[in-house]
Homo-oligomer: A and B are copies of this chain.
Amino acid sequence: MTNLPTTDRSWPTAGASSDLGALRAKVPLVHCITNVVVTNFTANVLLAIGASPAMVIAEEEVEFFATIASALLINVGTVTHVEAPAMLRAAKAAQAAGTPWVLDPVAVGALAYRTELVQQLLEFGPAIIRGNGSEIGALAGGEGGKGADSTQGSDAALEAGIDVARRTGAVVAISGATDYITDGQQVATVSGGDVLMTRITGTGCSLGATMAAFAAVCGSPLDAAVSASAVFAQAAERGLKQSHGPGTLAPAFLDNLASIEG
């Protein structure tokens, strides 16, 4: 599917395990400007894995906070004119301060307002861009999906992701049945998790936040995206065995994020 060197880095991998240990030792402060659907779940995911979430969204506060935070997540899922200027200021401040930041361009390509915002945000050098196949395809110039749910498999989006990575300098993580993560030179794959995870809102969004947490401790954004994805998929696998549907999967997933060995 690609000529780039491709490595399977699904759990268990020594890298993810030691990265997780480093994360828990550091307890990175993760500044999140995210959508109103997933704030609670995202905070609980970060707490479960061992990070310290902080949702600071006021235009007056984000520059300072992005500077002192260990990492930043910007997710445009429910952006309005209230959050958009704050996102731009936070991204700019993060770039200036060297705070690694993750961009989750929810539904980019499908809606003009956020598509323009995402283009502006890309100017500030995100370390990682996480999306589904449709969103990454839209960033590469294709047609976007209709909403948060992808209409394009992650396999088909890999070429688009490689293109976006090369053009932006960011690591691109494409979520799907198999996750693809690329820096434009190499590709890592992470499998596991399950289609049932798509029946819980915020799993993708909170994976983006978790990538930010790992970015605060990993040697490279590629490793951060890979380790976050591997831990997520493994906690999902374990949670599935302890649950009876999407409702009980969510708490079981959080339990396993907390108990998985670093």
Contact of A57 among B55, B78, B148 (CB under 8 A): B78
What residues of B have a CB within 8 angstroms of the CB of A261 in the complex?
A: none
Q: Mark A75-106, 1 if CB is under 8 A from B, else 0.
A: 00111111000100000000000000000000
What residues of B have a CB within 8 angstroms of the CB of A251 in the complex?
A: 247-248, 250-251
State whether the Cβ of A37 lies closer than 8 Å to any Cβ in chain B: yes
What residues of B have a CB within 8 angstroms of the CB of A41 in the complex?
A: 40
Residue of B nearest to A252 (CB): B247
A254 vs B77: C-alpha distance when bound (angstroms): 23
**Chain A, range 227-262, C-beta contacts under 8 Å to B:** 242-248, 250-259
Contact of A60 among B48, B60, B81 (CB under 8 A): B81
What residues of B have a CB within 8 angstroms of the CB of A61 in the complex?
A: 111-114
Interface hit among A6-14, A157-165, A196-204 = A196-204
Q: Is the CB of B246 within 8 A of A48?
A: yes
**How far is the CB of A26 from the nearest CB of chain B, in Å?**
13
State whether the Cβ of A155 lies closer than 8 Å to any Cβ in chain B: no
Q: Is the CB of B59 within 8 A of A36?
A: no
Task: Using CB atoms and an 8 Å cutoff, list the residues of chain A in contact with chain B.
Answer: 29, 35-41, 43-44, 47-48, 52-61, 64-65, 68, 77-82, 86, 107, 111-114, 146-149, 198-202, 242-248, 250-259
Which 10 A-B pairs rank lowest in CB-CB distance, beginning with the nearest?
A247-B254, A245-B255, A247-B251, A54-B147, A43-B201, A60-B113, A247-B255, A37-B39, A58-B80, A245-B258
